Amino acid sequence: MLEFPMSISRRALMSAFAATTAVAGFAGKAAFAQASADPAVLEAMRRATRFMVEEAAVNGGYVWSYLPDFSRRWGELEASPTMIWIQPPGTATMGHLFLDAYHATGDEFYYEAAQSATGAVIAAQVSAGGWNYVHDTAGEAAEQQWYDTVAANAWRLEEFRKRYGNGTFDDAGTSESAQLLLRMYLEKRDETYRGPLYKAIDFILDAQYPNGGWPQRFPLPEDEDDYTRYITFNDDVAGENLEFLIFAYQALGEQRLLDPIRRGMDIFLETQQPMPQPGWGLQHYVHDLTPAPARSIEPRAFATHTTAANIRALIGFYRLTGDRKYLARIPEAIDWLESVAAPADIRPPGRTHPTFIQIGNGRPLYIHRRGSNITNGSYYADENPNDTVIHYGSFRAVDTDALRAEYEAAAALSPEQASAGSPLLAASGSRELPRYFTLKDVDVSDLNTPGFDPNPPSAERVAELIGTLNERGYWSTPLTTTSNPYIGQSPAAVTPGEYRLTRVGDQWDTSPYVTDFPVEGVSTSVYIRNMGQFIQALGAR
């Protein structure tokens, strides 16, 4: 679960379905774009891609950032030399970018790169059909060693504390990988991708609870109290699964997907709590649908940002279905959000609401920590808004005026107007996927750089990109996020010093942190962003 100054922002549920350009039959347009393009653009694209494919990739897979000599490399945590990252912006994100470049240029070089990345994604697919955050190409023993060392000492990243051996829906890794398989299968109807694709579809269907919710991980862990079993909205778990299932329904014509899609939307209604607190938590218990706790930085409480995200999802569901039941309780949720806004004198600039609101009394909870590392340290929540941890926001920006305007605009539409063009109401298998997946509203932040700029690049910007591509074929980037190298198991004794408000714990803490002394390196995110601007320069939209 990314919680950092820069984090992955995923698609709004409806936006991805707005583009209807065909995947099939792109070659003529691509050939025209290539023929009319600046040769320097095409050459820069090839050089940058050749570096990533031939030097950065491990068995076709990628992490987030690298030192230029590859002596250290990182995903959300430091990776071993044989590891690849599935969690975006990782291997599947790169596969999507390569496929986008293929659509823009018609150059088989990029399709072959997409094949290589997709092969790495398939190799990382767990036996049940989903994906974990990471995969070690050296095998399970090597991956377990990484979990026992680097991951086990990452104080703030509890989701990496143990190797579950199953798949996760967190941070869109499974959804994005499944979408890549779908695109690759549809591209040339290559049977290589059909089996893994349907395995991923079955995984998402098997993981769904009868009530429509999804856990964070599947198959379910044996421990009944493991938070990854709970119905999860955090990091858009439900929304990402719905997005993929709708893509699959619209492109493959799988009628069996309609009921899981409907149940997946209805769980948003079922989990909205009754008055006087009509909001949602990050996660909810399966048995009674009330908010549940997650990591120790995520207490059992209402979450204001999740409530805002779920309101927007419900508006999207109305536009998908024309069913006004999805709008019915939105006004009371917005009213509640307005009622729990933080006083102006305690909230940080740009923030409006406490992240967490207690069940029952409606008072805020704020996150703190004590100790110096994962062994001796602990997180806790109380009502004191001062001295909160800096790597997880105790306050959020929630624009209730914008939410109300979005609701009112949707409510003013008749069901027929709202759902016009919905892929759920069209004949199954009749809709084509968007041509480009990395050019829309998906940020690809790797904690070092901002995500994609949706504005087409100027001629000056294109020239700058060509000019700053170095001789080796990458854009040298300040790696503003780093980590302490693993030096052994964190000690039980608290290291002298004050770690309540620091970016990282003591020297044993392997969590990522923003550094005041960035070094130059290679960023997967920068490659994706800059290639996207080149693709736009070729006329792609």
In whole angstroms, what is the distance from residue 300 CA to residue 359 CA? 8
Secondary structure letter of residue 10 according to DSSP: P
How distant, in Å, are the alpha carbons of 177, 189, 240, 281, 298 from that of 295? 25, 42, 21, 13, 5
Give the DSSP letter string of 416-445. HHHTTT-TTTSPTT--PPPS-SSSSS----
- The answer to whether the beta carbons of residues 10 and 172 sit under 8 Å apart is yes
pLDDT tens, residue order, the chain (541 aa): 443 332 333 444 444 343 333 333 344 455 445 556 789 999 999 999 999 999 999 999 999 999 999 999 999 999 999 999 999 999 999 999 999 999 999 999 999 999 999 999 999 999 999 999 999 999 999 999 999 999 999 999 999 999 999 999 999 999 999 999 999 999 999 999 999 999 999 999 999 999 999 999 999 999 999 999 999 999 999 999 999 999 999 999 999 999 999 999 999 999 999 999 999 999 999 999 999 999 999 999 999 999 999 999 999 999 999 999 999 999 999 999 999 999 999 999 999 999 999 999 999 999 999 999 999 999 999 999 999 999 999 999 999 999 999 999 999 999 999 999 899 998 777 778 889 999 875 443 344 555 556 678 999 999 999 999 999 999 999 999 999 999 999 999 999 999 999 999 999 999 999 999 999 999 999 999 999 999 999 988 7
366 three-class SS? strand
Give the DSSP letter string of 449-510. S-----SPPPHHHHHHHHHHB-TTSSB-EEEEEEEPPP-SSPPSSPPSS--SSSSS-STT--
Peptide bond into 89 cis (omega under 30): yes
Structure tokens at 164: 């579950």
Looking at residue 34, its pLDDT comes to: 57
| C-alpha dihedral sign at 457, 459, 463, 464 | negative
What stretches of 153-224 adopt beta strand conformation (E)?
A: 167-168, 217-218
- The answer to whether the beta carbons of residues 113 and 528 sit under 8 Å apart is no
Q: What domains appear along the chain, each with residue ranges and CATH number?
A: 15-537 (1.50.10.20)
Gyration radius from the chain CA atoms: 23
Looking at residue 58, its pLDDT comes to: 98
Q: Which of 163, 74, 5, 85 is nearest to 485 (CA)?
A: 74
Looking at residue 35, its pLDDT comes to: 52
Q: Which residue has the tokens 């790495």?
A: 120
Structure tokens at 74: 């990182």
Looking at residue 451, its pLDDT comes to: 53
Residue 404 CB neighbours (<10 A): 17
Secondary structure letter of residue 4 according to DSSP: S
448 three-class SS? coil
Looking at residue 431, its pLDDT comes to: 78
In whole angstroms, what is the distance from residue 260 CA to residue 264 CA? 6
Q: Which of 322, 522, 293 is nearest to 422 (CA)?
A: 322
In whole angstroms, what is the distance from residue 77 CA to residue 64 CA? 9
pTM: 0.93
In whole angstroms, what is the distance from residue 66 CA to residue 71 CA? 8
